Amino acid sequence: CFNRPIASNPGAHIDVVERCSYDQQKSMKVLGSLDNLDNDAQRQEYRQGEYFVESENGSAVRRCVNLGSYNYLGFADDWQVSCAKEVKASLDDLAVSTSSCRNEYGTSSIHRQVEKTVARFLGKEDALVLNMGFNTNATTIPALVGRGDLIISDELNHTSIVNGARASGAAIRIFRHNDTSNLEVILRDAIIKGRPRTRRPWNKILVVVEGIYSMEGEYCDLRNVVRVCKKYGAYVYLDEAHSIGAMGPTGRGCAEYTGVDTADIDIMMGTFTKSFGGMGGYIAASKETIAFLRQRCAGSVYHNSLSPVVCQQVLTSFKVIMGEDGTTIGKQKLQALRDNSNYCRMRLQEMGLQVLGHYDSPIMPVMLYNPCKISAFSRECLKRGVAVVVVGFPAVPILMSRARFCISAGHTREDLDRALKEIDEIADICNLRYARSMFG
């Protein structure tokens, strides 16, 4: 019941396919499709999850408020702004696939445009664009470090970082989540003791953190990470998958939000799958580092390059965020994301739920603790037209099961209020209002 197939573009609303019995289907109002609805009132009702439509294989499709996708600025389904128009128009000129990797025939001028835009946006010398965020971590880290090097990684870093770190052949130490005193202890120890057996100094030490941690909704204590790394001469690698375009007054991510100069972050990684409504990932760094990665990073050398049409989506999203489209839409979206996130977090806390993370973060995990509550919570949400992601073992410790809400600028206040009303009722059904304990 955790991952149901979806029948439409995930945006502020999403159609979720219900696997239901024939008898259940008979009792449903079958309306054909949204286009067949007679009037706005019916459409509104449908939008609000009251109605089902029949899908091809006879199962029912329910429209839900989407609190499960990382569509932070709403670009993934925003057909109003210039974004969509430019992307549609680009289909006349640009190929969907380059069918080649970057170092062969897969680099077009639009790839360079995206790279220059990323570098300019972040105040770095240059950037490299890859076709997947996951691959960006998984193939850049092994290009940057190897045997004789040390990676010090936050314990809650994403799997793509873990994969990259393991594949690199570098030694790996883990520090307690977002705990920079523990990071300092490990760094100092690594420098005093050096490499095992030989006790020679480490060639390089790379500290890897994320801007916002996706299972916790917390942002990184970046100021202290940078301070400690400077003190011991370690390199900083920051994964901004969830923070780029979602944090900071102008969407420039965790560095902007925490007041850290991007010159102090050696490697800035991010993805286009979330705030930009596209695909792919980037590394922004010094000219020399990027030139080196262009030759050494397997994700760039051996993988098909990013789709040119997706490059257009990314470029246009950047243009809107930076206000270079001549409108204030980007500014409004950033403000809406922050307002929606803080409103939701406040309301969930007022309900007496255990909400993890920080204000201003669009990710809001609500603790279920007991793993038996996972499927009940998910089922009740879907039944009431609210699509959420529930998280259990092994993604989180077994007694730290949770439901995770992802907020978007595309949500209206009515969407959020409707979802919150349902969650309030489900909190009683699943007995979620209790003081911090394992089995409320």
Using CB under 6 A as the criterion, which residues of the chain lie in contact with ligand PMP when the complex forms?
Answer: 132-134, 137, 158, 160, 210, 214, 239, 241-242, 271, 273, 281
CB of 145 or CB of 241, closer to ligand PMP: 241
**Contact between residue 410 and residue 78 where contact means Cβ atoms under 8 Å apart:** yes
Measured CA to CA, the distance from residue 343 to residue 113 in angstroms comes to 37
- Helical spans, DSSP H, in 124-258: 133-144, 159-168, 180-193, 222-232, 254-258
**Contact between residue 208 and residue 151 where contact means Cβ atoms under 8 Å apart:** yes
CB of 212 to ligand PMP, least distance (A): 8
Has 214 been annotated as catalytic? yes
Given 13, 124, 158, 274, which residue is catalytic?
A: 274
Q: How many CA atoms lie within 13 A of 187 on its CB side?
A: 26
CB of 209 or CB of 353, closer to ligand PMP: 209
CB of 133 or CB of 217, closer to ligand PMP: 133
CB of 377 to ligand PMP, least distance (A): 21
Measured CA to CA, the distance from residue 321 to residue 351 in angstroms comes to 34
CB of 165 to ligand PMP, least distance (A): 13
Given 242, 319, 333, 411, which residue is catalytic?
A: 242
333-343 burial, b at 16+ Cβ within 10 Å, e below that, comes to bbebbbebbeb
Has 242 been annotated as catalytic? yes
CB of 242 or CB of 402, closer to ligand PMP: 242
133-144 vs 287-296: helix crossing angle, rounded to 10: 100
Residue nearest ligand PMP, Cβ-based: 133
Calculate ∠ Cα 305-314-100, nearest 5°: 10
Given 90, 214, 307, 408, which residue is catalytic?
A: 214
DSSP string, 33-81: -GGG--SHHHHHHHHTT--EEE-TTS-EEEEEEE-SS--TTSGGG--SS
CB of 66 or CB of 137, closer to ligand PMP: 137
CB of 382 to ligand PMP, least distance (A): 22
**Contact between residue 171 and residue 151 where contact means Cβ atoms under 8 Å apart:** yes
CB of 239 or CB of 380, closer to ligand PMP: 239
CB of 83 to ligand PMP, least distance (A): 18
DSSP string, 199-234: -PPPS-EEEEEESEETTTTEEP-HHHHHHHHHHHT-
How far is the CA of 240 from the CAs of 79, 209, 257, 293, in angstroms? 26, 9, 12, 19
Q: How many CA atoms lie within 13 A of 169 on its CB side?
A: 7
CB of 313 to ligand PMP, least distance (A): 13
**What residues are annotated to the active site?**
214, 242, 274
